[in-house]
Structure 1
Amino acid sequence: MPGETNLETLLATMAPRLHDEAFAYVTITPGKPEPDGLEPVLRFEEPEGTTLVVPRRQALQSGLDPVFACKMITLEVHSALEAVGFLAALLPPLAAAGIGVNPVSAYFHDHLLVPADRAGEAVAILEGIAEKARGGLG
């Protein structure tokens, strides 16, 4: 299943879904084991350490130092990994509103990690973009 590549279709059908869970970023020093009980939604290996995005409560329970308390917005459209311009169309309006975004592209969907206290505003901006794009498809 290759996913959608048409930019207008992606924008019109993105269906942003805000997750209830609060997440945070943590890092594990190279050579140290990952604490038990973590259920990361993202793991990325860098020379300086392993970055994990985990439920914030799990980070605190594990004694880790969580940073960037955030919420995840999943764009429900199955976007193709080779799609051009999708995130480029979404990030400037969020930046103009002063909302920092850490985007993650996975196999089926794109996910946006935004400050927890701005998540509702971010969803409203994305829904506005989708509504405008739906008008363009008609």
Structure 2
Amino acid sequence: MTTGETNLNTLLKNMTPVLNDGDYVYCTTSSLSNINTDAIIAFFKEQEAVTLILKKETADRLNLEYSYIAAWITLTIHSSLEAPGLTAAFATALANENISCNVVAAYYHDHIFVAKKDAERAMLTLRKLAE
């Protein structure tokens, strides 16, 4: 199994952000028993509840509350979970543009959720960072 890229300069130069279609929301639930796990983008079990990231239409269909509608950006380079600095670099670049980001590091890629209204500016910022 490959472990991904660790060199920060290589990661930044080749991160190639892709804006996924759709609107995404963060919700909480006490149980996953009534939710088809195929519909879940990501979840994390916290002490208080299970946090879910879902397509907005899935949350609406399940009558789950949310207050934040996000766009989902995937950095397509296979980054190592041990690569230092990548999250700090793109989070700082986005913060400098007053764009909040919520990051999910998965095995192959980093995923960034930004407010829907900031999606295009975030993509521009990430592309500039890669230059």
TM class, shorter-length? over 0.9
1:14-33 superposed Cα distances (whole Å, 9 cap, x missing partner): 0000001110000002x573
State the Cα distance separating 1:59 from its structure 2 match: 0.3
The separation in 2 between residues aligned to 1:82 and 1:37, in whole angstroms, is: 28
1:76-128 superposed Cα distances (whole Å, 9 cap, x missing partner): 00000000001111111211211110011000000000001101100000000
What is the DSSP-based 3-state SS (H/G/I as helix, E as strand, rest coil) of the residue aligned with 2:35? coil
Q: Structure 1: which 5+ residue stretches go unaligned?
A: 132-138
TM-score by length of 2: 0.94
State the Cα distance separating 1:65 from its structure 2 match: 0.5
The separation in 2 between residues aligned to 1:12 and 1:32, in whole angstroms, is: 39
State the Cα distance separating 1:38 from its structure 2 match: 6.6
The separation in 1 between residues aligned to 2:104 and 2:119, in whole angstroms, is: 16
- Indicate if the aligned counterparts of 1:17 and 1:74 stay in contact, CA closer than 8 A: yes
State the Cα distance separating 1:37 from its structure 2 match: 7.8
- Percent of aligned pairs with the same amino acid: 37
Q: Structure 2: which 5+ residue stretches go unaligned?
A: none
Equivalent AA in structure 2 for residue 73 of structure 1 = I
The separation in 2 between residues aligned to 1:117 and 1:14, in whole angstroms, is: 22
**Higher alpha-carbon Rg:** 1
Q: Tell me the residue number matched to 1:101.
A: 101
**Is 1:33 aligned to residue 33 of structure 2?**
yes
The separation in 2 between residues aligned to 1:86 and 1:64, in whole angstroms, is: 33
Q: Tell me the residue number matched to 1:83.
A: 83
- Indicate if the aligned counterparts of 1:38 and 1:59 stay in contact, CA closer than 8 A: no
The separation in 2 between residues aligned to 1:46 and 1:95, in whole angstroms, is: 26
Q: Tell me the residue number matched to 2:17.
A: 16
User: Which runs of at least 4 in structure 1 moved beyond 2 Å after TM superposition?
Assistant: 31-38
